[in-house]
Amino acid sequence: MALPPLSLLRRCAGSLAGAGVAVAGLAASLALGGGPARAGGGGVSVTSYGHSALMIQGGGATVLINPFKAVACAAGLAEPRVRADVILASSRLLDEGAPVASGKFLVTPGSYRVAGLAIEGVAAPHDRFGGRRFGQSTLWRWTQGGLNIAHIGGTAAQLRPEDKVLLGRPDLLIIGVGGGAKVYDGAEAAAVVKDLQPRRVIPVQYVGGKTPADCDQGSLQPFLQALGGTPVQKPGRSVTLGSPLSEATQVLVLR
C-alpha cells in the first residue's frame, strides 16, 4: 500500500499529538521506515564529495544530495559538477544547494515522483530561531534500493513530534553534525539519532581539517563522543549498503 504524502501525515500527526495521542504509537503505522526495509531491493551505494554532498545510486536511480559551491565551510573542495536523476537540496544557500550539477533540482517542500522514486519534502527552520536568521530548509525522505532514507543535513532546529512520526525509523539517516548557526552541533545531532534510531548514519557538514575562513562549523568528534559506544566505520569515500540492513545503529564516516 502506498504511503500518504508527508503533508497529509504532518496534519494528522500534529492534530493527534495536540489531542494527547502518543506520537510513538503513530510511528509504527504511519511513518516511513517503521519496519525493516523491503527485501530484494538491491541496496544502494553512497559516494561522498565532501561537506554534505553525497551521490546515492541504486534502485535504477541516482540521487545527489546538497551540491555546493566551494565557499565558506566548503572552501577548497572540488565542486560536484556531476549528473544525477534528481538533486535534493536542503536550501538554496550556496554551500548546500548550488546550481553546479545537472538533473532534476528539488529544493521546495512537496511530493514528487522522479526516476521511479517517490520523494517527500517538508519544511523545517534552518536555524534555532524559527527560521528568522536563515529561513526554511527542507527535510527529505524517500525509498531507494529497498532502503528508507532520510536527509536532514541542513537544519539546526529541534525536530517536532510530528516530524519524528513522519521520518519514522530510517534505514539511512543523513544528518549535519558540525554545529554553527544552521547545522546541528554534535550533541544535538546525537540526540536526533537516539530519537530516530536509524540503522545507519552518515554525518555531514563538519570540518575535517583546518577550518576555512568564514566557516562556523567544527569537527566530527563531539558527535561521535555524544553517541558513546555506537559502532563507527570509516569505509573511505564510498560505501555499499545492502537491503535489508542489520538492526543496530552504525555510524559511517565518509571522506
| Domains by residue range for the chain, with CATH | 42-254 (3.60.15.10)
> Of the candidates 89, 85, 165, which has an alpha carbon nearest to the alpha carbon of residue 117?
85
- Looking at residue 20, its pLDDT comes to 44
Query: Residue written as cell 552518515?
Result: 202
CA distances, 160 to each of 24, 123, 194 (Å):
12, 11, 15
| Cell triple for 49 | 564529495
Residues of the chain with pLDDT under 50: 1-3, 16-40
Compute the mean pLDDT over every residue in the chain, rounded to the nearest whole number.
87
Q: Which pLDDT tens digit goes with each residue over 146-160?
A: 999 999 988 999 998
Q: Is the peptide bond before 235 cis (omega within 30 degrees of 0)?
A: no
- Looking at residue 215, its pLDDT comes to 94
- Looking at residue 10, its pLDDT comes to 56
Q: Which pLDDT tens digit goes with each residue over 177-211?
A: 999 999 999 999 999 999 999 999 999 999 988 99
- Looking at residue 11, its pLDDT comes to 56
In this prediction, what percent of the chain has a pLDDT beyond 70? 84
Asked if residues 156 and 127 have their Cβ atoms less than 8 Å apart, the reply is yes
| Pure H helices in the chain | 6-18, 23-30, 161-167, 186-196, 221-226
| Cell triple for 13 | 500527526
- Looking at residue 8, its pLDDT comes to 57
- Looking at residue 9, its pLDDT comes to 55
